Amino acid sequence: MRFKLTAAIAATIALLATGCASRPAEPPPPPEPPAAPLPSSFLEKLSADGLFAFGRASIDDFNPAGLAALDELAERLNARPLEIVHVIGHSDRIGNDRANLRLSEQRANAVRDYLIERGVPAGRITAVGRGSVEPVVDCEGQRGDALKDCLAPNRRVEVRIQFAD
């Protein structure tokens, strides 16, 4: 025997089916976390070997990768108000102390001058050389090219930045 659905029964079934199929509204997604605050200061370490030829300090000796690193640094420095920028040159222990100090000063000055040419305010930037007195590696027992290669981390220019904000 077939049953005839009346319009009322069909409407009730449709209403029940719709009620079962509905879901509670999904909660809104959580808010995105705030952007990490920009540091008020940082230290940029640049390999002197990446900037200069061994034993050289001339801007003409900068290699393309070193120039790209300095250009990127200059952009970051120009993006915010600066309190102070300290450029610190370091050398390895190969050679005499006086020559190493002079080379580290020349390298620091070359980086400072390059940054000034790229818009970093001259009144906010200093340069100093430390020579070989702050090594990061010692390389005891090494000689010749092995010593030169081992001491590479000591040949560096550090840029210490303090932003004004």
Q: What is 96-118 written as a DSSP string?
A: -HHHHHHHHHHHHHHHHHHHHHT
Cα–Cα distance measured from residue 62 to residue 58, given in angstroms and rounded to the nearest whole number: 7
Q: 148: part of which helix (H) or strand (E)?
A: helix 144-150
pLDDT-derived band at 36 (thresholds 50, 70, 90) equals: low
Cα–Cα distance measured from residue 135 to residue 137, given in angstroms and rounded to the nearest whole number: 6
Query: Which range of residues forms the domain containing residue 77?
Result: 41-163
In the prediction, which pLDDT does 118 show?
96
State the CATH number of the domain containing residue 87.
3.30.1330.60
Structural domain includes residue 29: no
Structural domain includes residue 92: yes
Structural domain includes residue 19: no
Structural domain includes residue 23: no
Tokens, residue 7: 């319009």
Structural domain includes residue 134: yes
Q: How many domains does the chain have?
A: 1
In the prediction, which pLDDT does 1 show?
46
Structural domain includes residue 6: no
Structural domain includes residue 28: no
Question: Model confidence over 10-19: pLDDT tens digits?
Answer: 555 555 555 5
In the prediction, which pLDDT does 108 show?
97
Structural domain includes residue 34: no
In the prediction, which pLDDT does 65 show?
83
